[in-house]
C-alpha cells in the first residue's frame, strides 16, 4: 500500500483513523496493534513495545503474550513494508 493510499484510507475511517494509521505505518497485526497500553508507550524514545496481543477465542477477546519486539515510532515505514 502506498503512502497516498494509506492516507486516503485513514481519511475515510473518520474517528478510527488513528488506529488505522498506527497499523499502516508500524506493520503490526490486528492483535498486536489492539493490545498496547498507554502506560507502556515510550514517547520520549518514540517506541512501542509489543508485549501483549489479543485474540478472539469463542467470541471473547483473550489477552496473550506476544513475541516481545519493539516498534520504532520515529521511523515511518511503508504501509506495505
pLDDT tens digits for range 23-46: 888 888 888 888 777 777 888 888
Domain annotation covers residue 79: no
Domain annotation covers residue 16: yes
Higher pLDDT among residues 79 and 44, named by residue: 44
Give residues with Cβ within 8 angstroms of 48, minimum separation 6.
26, 36, 40, 41, 42, 70, 71, 73
pTM exceeding the 0.85 threshold for the entire prediction? no
Distance between CA atoms of residues 81 and 71, nearest Å:
13
Question: For the chain, what is the domain count?
Answer: 1
State the residue range of the domain holding 13: 3-72
Amino acid at each position: 500500500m502506498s503512502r497516498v493510499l494509506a492516507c486516503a484510507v485513514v481519511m475515510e475511517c473518520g474517528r478510527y483513523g488513528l488506529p488505522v494509521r498506527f497499523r499502516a505505518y508500524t506493520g503490526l497485526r490486528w492483535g498486536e496493534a489492539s493490545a498496547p497500553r498507554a502506560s507502556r508507550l515510550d514517547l520520549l524514545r518514540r517506541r512501542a513495545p509489543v508485549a501483549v496481543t489479543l485474540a478472539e477465542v469463542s467470541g471473547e477477546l483473550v489477552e496473550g503474550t506476544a513475541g516481545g519486539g519493539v516498534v520504532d515510532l520515529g521511523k515511518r515505514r511503508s504501509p506495505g513494508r
